[in-house]
Amino acid sequence: MSDHHTSTVHVPGLVLTDHEVWVPLDHAKPDGDRITVFAREVADVDGRDKPFLVFLQGGPGSEAPRPTRHPANPGWLDRALQDYRVLMFDQRGTGRSTPIGTLPGMTPQQQADHLVHFRADSIVRDAELVRQALGVDRWSVLGQSFGGFCSLTYLSFAPEGLREAFFTGGVPPVGRAVDDVYAATYRTQLERNRRYYARYPGDRDRVRALHERLDDGGVTLPNGDVLSSRRFRTIGSGLGMSDGAEQLHYLLELDWASPMFRHDLAAALPFQGRNPLYAAVHEACYADGVTTGWSAQRMLPEEFAADETLFTGEHVFPWSLGEDRELAPLAEAADLLASYAWPRLYDEEALRSCDVPAAAAIYAEDAYVDRAFSEETAALVPSLRPWVTNEYEHNGLRAGGDRILTHLFDLARGRR
């Protein structure tokens, strides 16, 4: 059986070449169980000889975008294709890569032992095997959010495979306690709540009334879950996006008895069965050589306990998986992972000697990746040029991708 399968199709204005590569589940055991990783090469019809830019999607647990036509969707892809052919990389366990599912037939310990292989360190090793399978000497990477975490791991452990590295809202903390990370994100989330209610003051009473309904078991999601107050509060995760406040307001103005409300509410919940990795290994993505111990739960500020109208952010809790019938089969495994002694994700010494040209968009008020920690990390890497801006939120690549990519390309190439 070949380790690399490929096929090519043409869509209006684009050439799409699909690659499936077999990789070890555990890279420390190359002769053990194997999984597939999928990557879709996207090129202009006259751009198939351009250098590669590998897009590392946010998450964890989300597949790469699917281009549909030209002009390209997502919008930033048009700008990228001027300089590159883009490799849309489905990180292990997502999209057309071997899906993770809920690992039926395994004990919780077996599930946890499986899930430890789905962090940035394994993703980078996958990418290196894909690069070798495609016969590429070096390529560039663009990391959005969690994809930026993967890019920094790449710079730490396999810089020889990189021409350039670009970060959008995803320069992670290095060597920081997980509790520091969650303390910072809660401070930002409190400010997001303040701004939200300043813009929509009438929503506070509406949220209180909805909590009363939830306490009485009055909202059932389409999958049959009875929604709790604490789970409802997690829809505040979207407040870190440029349109997050409006999306939350438009949801709350719907008739609570309507199927529209129930379906839209379910879609707004951050942790869902479609992408189980997002909940199962979310805190572990910050575990740079430490144990997480359900940090988001332990660091929850008193303000949130005292005021039920405050929405939490991108925070996963010990009960998060168990309250979702689709994620519940992984709840015990997630609890085991919370006490796992995670290996390092980054190498400070390697980063301090890094000479790979790199540039990062650091969003001044990012609700997901703290600005101060991002700047601290950027200072470690002599070849990384940071661009701190308050013009965009965490979804800046989607909202203004053309301008952001042009700025980052210029920075990395010494044009600014």
Which pLDDT does position 83 carry in this prediction?
96
Which pLDDT does position 72 carry in this prediction?
63
Task: Give per-residue pLDDT as tens, 310-361.
Answer: 999 999 999 999 999 999 999 999 999 999 999 999 999 999 999 999 999 9
Which pLDDT does position 1 carry in this prediction?
42
Distance from C-alpha of 172 to C-alpha of 150, rounded to nearest angstrom: 9
Distance from C-alpha of 72 to C-alpha of 360, rounded to nearest angstrom: 23
pLDDT band at residue 289 using 50, 70 and 90 as cut-offs:
very high
Span 293-303, mean pLDDT? 97
Pull the structure tokens for residue 156.
Answer: 């730490």
Which pLDDT does position 71 carry in this prediction?
65
Which pLDDT does position 313 carry in this prediction?
95
Structural domains in the chain plus CATH codes: 4-108+116-174+346-412 (3.40.50.1820), 178-337 (no CATH)
Span 187-200, mean pLDDT? 98
Query: What is the distance in angstroms between the CA of the first residue and the CA of the last residue of the chain?
Result: 49
pTM for the structure as a whole: 0.96
Pull the structure tokens for residue 323.
Answer: 């309250």
Pull the structure tokens for residue 374.
Answer: 């991002």
Q: Could you tell me where the DSSP H helices lie in 259-354?
A: 259-268, 276-280, 295-298, 302-306, 331-337, 348-352
Distance from C-alpha of 66 to C-alpha of 237, rounded to nearest angstrom: 24
pLDDT band at residue 13 using 50, 70 and 90 as cut-offs:
confident
Give the rounded distance of the alpha carbon of 275 from its chain centre: 11
Which pLDDT does position 382 carry in this prediction?
97
